[in-house]
Amino acid sequence: MNRLIDTSTKISSLILKNPFILASGIMDEDAGSMIRIAKNGAAAIVTKSIGVKPREGYANPTIVEVDCGIINSMGLPNPGIDAYMEEIESIKKKTSVPIIGSIFGKDEKEFCLLAKKMETYGVDAIELNLSCPHAKGYGLEIGSNPKKVENIASKVKSSVNIPIFAKLSPNVTDIVEIAKSAKKGGADAITAINSVKAMKIDIEIGLPVLSNKIGGYSGKAIKPIGIRCVYEISKNVDIPVIGVGGILTAEDAIEYLMAGASAVQIGSAVYYRDVNIFDKLDNELKGWMKKYGYKKLSELIGLAHKKQRKVII
Amino acid sequence: MRNEIAYPKIVKIKKTKREAKNIKTILFEYDGKNITPGQFLMIWIPGLDEIPMSISYINNKEIGFTFRKVGEATTALYNLKKGNKIGFRGPYGNGFTIKGKNILVVGGGTGIATLAPLIEKILSIKNKKLTAIFGAKTKDEMFFTRRFRGINLKISTDDGSIGFKGMASELTEKIIKEENFDQVITCGPEKMMKKIVDICNLYKIPVQASLERYIKCGIGLCGQCCIGEGLRVCKDGPVFEGDVLNKISEFGYFKRDASGKKIKI
């Protein structure tokens, strides 16, 4: 019986009923969408990345599907932190699923202001967007600098009482170094990875398809990159890791768990397998665990590291 | 399930047609046999924008879309000529579902374009009775009045320059009082559709309306076009049943701009 299989997990003080969290940027701009995702079994929801002021994002095309994935360059559209109060308050009335407020700022002052407001609105944790690959002056432009990452993490940590997660980009020479800086600053967990910088040119028109030209690649193609990053971070940095990047099936999630992730995030797969993917993944995960004789999720977390040690002995 | 990737297919414009003042149709070669009336395309104007467009002509040789020149993107489309290249992806969305025998179709403004292939489909099915109401602000903006054969077409204009003087919703109520319909299908300005849905609720007639929202990804991912409890206009819609619309508090009242901020309709 699948009921005997325990897929619950924990990230800092957040207790999750299963390891499947909605990734930032997917159906999470308004309360209604997030309530629908919660009803479909997500263990937690990361909001759209919210900034200080309303931002329209880039002109369309903002998304293009390519082989084995999707390239997007939305450009951080969001209604601004003040208008977002209404969304968080109404979602909080309708669901007990933890809400993780994703925020982006140009410096530590903006990050602190956003984090404080998110905490007041009632979110359960903060995710620092230090990795958006396509917005000038934000995201990756800050998140590729270890000193800035440490500074932002430490200032935000001291201004709120909820856990903070640092979402990192694979578009750096050494993601472990950045993860160490985030931990040093006080981050309670690392989310890895954000989408991978990419471009698609239409050869008949002779132009990049996305209006911003460069976007972030997500979906199946980036999973091996995410697995490598999560493996390296969890081996070297002693805080929980949330794995994200190309998870379409429970097997994909298991690979992330074995690489050291304590939970995972689901984004593009909402397109490939639709909104009810969360319940589907949890059932698939339980089925797989039963088949292979696992009872608790904790048995899978970091297994690839443990096995390696066994072989050496 | 998806059979094609969300990538713009490049096509040459086969024909452009002026339908009314500031309203044009662009046609290109494509086999439309798998398109359901009410579905839409994401039209790529390379180097400028990508916008959703309802499909207004569907046959097995060509398809087209009809639009009003309102902003930068539609003005660029308006100026395109035969042979120019555009991209499109889709068809996206659910489309209309035809129910019952006696059907009333109500189009307002460019909403008429969305309903046109539906009208042709209903006319091609035996034993259906069809009444259509086309509403526009004024005579110069009315189009498609001579496109269909064997249709009971009623026209309204706000200024009375042609047909019934007044709103299409007023004419709808008048007609619904006189005749029993099995289904009402509408597309047009949201305030008009809201009135029509309210009228249908009052007279207990099943109703479908095709909604418009700011669409970015078009494939149900980004959440930009969500209404109610996470209903994606681009994927779960754009056509919604009256009983679904009755539960959506923002229907007829507000939409969201490109940033996701609420704005009044």
Q: What is the pLDDT of residues A155-211, one digit of tens each?
A: 999 999 999 999 999 999 999 999 999 999 999 999 999 999 999 999 999 999 999
- pLDDT tens for A210-227 read 999 999 999 999 999 999
Q: How far apart, in whole angstroms, are the C-alpha atoms of residue B228 and residue B247?
A: 7
Kindly list the residues from chain B whose CB atom is less than 8 angstroms away from the CB atom of residue A270: 220-221
* Torsions phi, psi for A277 (to 5 deg): -60, -30
Residue-wise pLDDT tens digits, A271-285:
999 999 999 999 999
Please report the pLDDT score of residue A153 as a whole number.
97
Which pLDDT score is estimated for B1? 41
- pLDDT value at residue A2: 67
Summarize the confidence of residues A73-82 as an average pLDDT. 96
Q: Does B80 touch chain A (CB under 8 A)?
A: no
Residue A36 has pLDDT above 60, yes or no: yes
Hey, are the CB atoms on B258 and A275 less than 8 Å from each other? Answer: no
Q: Domain locations in chain A?
A: 2-312
- Region B56-75 average pLDDT: 96
Q: Which residues of B touch A211 (CB under 8 A)?
A: 49-50
Phi, psi of A29 (to 5 degrees): -90, -25
Question: Across the interface, do A205 and B6 touch by the CB < 8 Å criterion?
Answer: no
pLDDT range class, residue A136, cuts 50, 70, 90 = confident
Cα nearest neighbour of B218 on chain A: A63
Whether A19 shows a pLDDT value over 60: the answer reads yes
Nearest CA distance, A246 vs chain B (angstrom):
14
Instruction: Give the three-class secondary structure for A231.
Output: helix
The answer to whether the beta carbons of residues B64 and B26 sit under 8 Å apart is yes
* A235-262: average pLDDT: 98
The domains located in chain B, with CATH, are 9-92 (2.40.30.10), 96-204 (3.40.50.80), 211-265 (no CATH)
Residues 6+ apart with CB under 8 A from A278: A18, A20, A22, A37, A40, A41, A42, A43, A266
* pLDDT value for A308: 61
Each residue of B158-170: pLDDT tens digit?
A: 999 999 999 999 9
Across the range B57-83, mean pLDDT stands at 97
Query: How confident is the model at residue A135, as a pLDDT?
Result: 86
Confidence class of residue A96 from pLDDT cuts 50, 70 and 90?
A: very high
Q: What is the pLDDT of residues B168-217, one digit of tens each?
A: 999 999 999 999 999 999 999 999 999 999 999 999 999 999 999 999 99
Question: Mean pLDDT, to the nearest integer, of B12-38?
Answer: 97
Closest CA to B254 of B194, B169, B199: B194
| Nearest residue on chain B to A64, alpha-carbon basis | B7
A141-156 confidence digits (pLDDT tens)? 899 999 999 999 999 9
Place of tokens 């890895």: A192
Provide the pLDDT for residue A310: 57
- The catalytic residue among A68, A112, A132, A229 is A132
Distance CA B65, CA A29 (A): 30
With 90 as the cut, is the pLDDT of residue A43 above it?
yes
Portion of chain B with pLDDT greater than 70, in percent: 99
Position with higher pLDDT, A274 vs A136: A274
Architecture category of domain A2-312 in CATH: Alpha-Beta Barrel (3.20)
Does residue A1 surpass a pLDDT of 90?
Answer: no
d(CA B101, CA B94): 21
- Cβ <8 Å between A205 and B224: no
Q: Looking at chain B, which residue has its C-alpha nearest residue A90?
A: B229
Per residue in A283-310, pLDDT (tens digit) is 999 999 999 999 999 999 999 998 765 5
What is residue B3's predicted lDDT score, i.e. its pLDDT? 57
Would you call A229 a catalytic residue per the annotation? no
Answer whether B257 touches A (CB < 8 Å): yes
- Summarize pLDDT for A21-32 with one digit per residue, the tens: 999 999 999 999
CB contact under 8 A, A35 and B229: yes
Lookup: tokens for A187: 């981050």
Residue A309: per-residue pLDDT? 57
User: What tokens were used for B243?
Assistant: 């009983």
Alpha-carbon distance A50 to A58, whole Å?
15
- Those residues whose C-beta lies under 8 Å from the C-beta of residue B235, and which sit 6 or more positions away, are B92, B93, B219, B220
- Res. B150 pLDDT band, cuts 50 70 90: confident
- 3 state SS of A109: helix
Question: What's the rounded mean pLDDT across residues A256-265?
Answer: 98
* The two three-digit tokens of residue B53, written as one number: 């467009």
pLDDT, position A312: 52
Residue B263 touches partner A, C-beta closer than 8 Å: no
Across chain A, mean pLDDT equals 95
Bridge partners, B52 (sequence order): B42
